[in-house]
Amino acid sequence: MKTTLITGGLGFIGSSICELLLKKKYSDKCILLDNFGGYMNPIKDNFIDFRKQRFPSLKNIIIERCDTSNYKALSSIISKYKPNYIYHTAALPLAKVSNLNNEEAKISSVDSTVNIIDAINIIQNSNKRFKFNRFVYFSSSMVYGDFKTPTVNEQSEKNPKDAYGIMKLAGEVVTEGLCKLHKIPYTIIRPSAVYGPKDMNRRVSQIFIENAFEKKKIYIQGKNEKLDFTYIKDLANGSVLAARSKKGVNEIFNITCGKGQTLLSYVIYLKKKFPELNYIIQARDKTKPSRGTLSIKKAKRLLGYKPKYSLKDGINEYFNFLKKNFRY
């Protein structure tokens, strides 16, 4: 009987991991621990609440409302369910908001990570027969800051440029240090520019496709601005692969598409579906790190990770989802 607890389990990435684990029967039960937070104004804009669509069925899913900063509540949930795996995706996931609210970013990425590891340590020590398999910390490509080379690998210099990246990196340090101290097997995942159905944080990929549906102009910040756009299913697959593989123990992996592509190329794929689409290229936002490709050689070599979705395929699936499910 394998139990998985996913912090931030109601979110974009957490819910996709849950779906995969249950579908493939890698877990018998998923505990989704979430504070039911939201970062977008649900009244303003063209906000669409995707939360219900994330869970077509609640079979083998238990939802626990809890904030990871509340140690007492968190540790009692962890001791109650004694999960074999914990995927820690809960965090303030937006750079802009983290920069405005450093304290909240610290609480969600650093303090909460300490709390979870501490709670795992307690259940490990209280029951020697209990087998804890893996703590998976979700970091970000923002830990690298401005990429010094077109492609970065896991060893490349970490020089975060904003509060979001700084807190994500601090969470990595906490994970590596405390997990080694308490002999807790861990894996760190560095995703980048994840896109696809049911995202509702209004990051660039979502804004672009929704603007296209709504016949609104698209503003591209930076002619040569590149991101390693990663389809949600590839990220979920790669993360689960890393968590389940012995070769993933105490390792860090870039889990992305492995190909930096310009924002313009994303819009050009969209233009094939929306020939009328209008876009304007503006100056790049210099507060954002300049990024590119995250090498996935390590994940390929150790885990056999192979992303399935090209940007074109990912946009196609995302487009079909929006067309089928929403008001467009």
Ligand X SMILES: NC(=O)c1ccc[n+]([C@@H]2O[C@H](COP(=O)([O-])OP(=O)(O)OC[C@H]3O[C@@H](n4cnc5c(N)ncnc54)[C@H](O)[C@@H]3O)[C@@H](O)[C@H]2O)c1
Write out the residues near ligand X by the rule CB under 6 A: 7-8, 10-14, 34-37, 67-69, 89-91, 93, 108, 112, 138, 140, 191-194, 201
Which CB, 159 or 183, lies closer to ligand X? 159
Which CB, 14 or 248, lies closer to ligand X? 14
Q: By Cβ distance, which residue is nearest to ligand X?
A: 11
310: region left, alpha or beta (phi > 0 left; psi from -120 to 50 alpha): beta
Dihedral angle of Cα 78, 80, 82, 85, to the nearest 10 degrees: -40
Q: Do residues 42 and 11 touch, judged by C-beta distance below 8 A?
A: no
Which CB, 90 or 110, lies closer to ligand X? 90
Q: Which of 111, 126, 110, 40 is nearest to 76 (CA)?
A: 126
Shortest approach of ligand X to residue 36 CB, angstroms?
A: 6
Shortest approach of ligand X to residue 194 CB, angstroms?
A: 3
What residues form DSSP beta bridges with 27? none
| Kind and range of the H or E run holding 38 | none
Shortest approach of ligand X to residue 129 CB, angstroms?
A: 29
Which CB, 15 or 125, lies closer to ligand X? 15
Shortest approach of ligand X to residue 128 CB, angstroms?
A: 29
| DSSP category for residue 42 | S
Which CB, 40 or 123, lies closer to ligand X? 40
Shortest approach of ligand X to residue 107 CB, angstroms?
A: 7
- 305 SS3 class: coil
Task: Report residue 52: phi and psi, to 5°.
Answer: -65, -35
Shortest approach of ligand X to residue 99 CB, angstroms?
A: 13
Burial class (CB in 10 A: 0-12, 13-18, 19+), 276: exposed
Q: Directed axis angle between helix 112-126 and helix 163-182, to 10°?
A: 10
Which CB, 31 or 193, lies closer to ligand X? 193
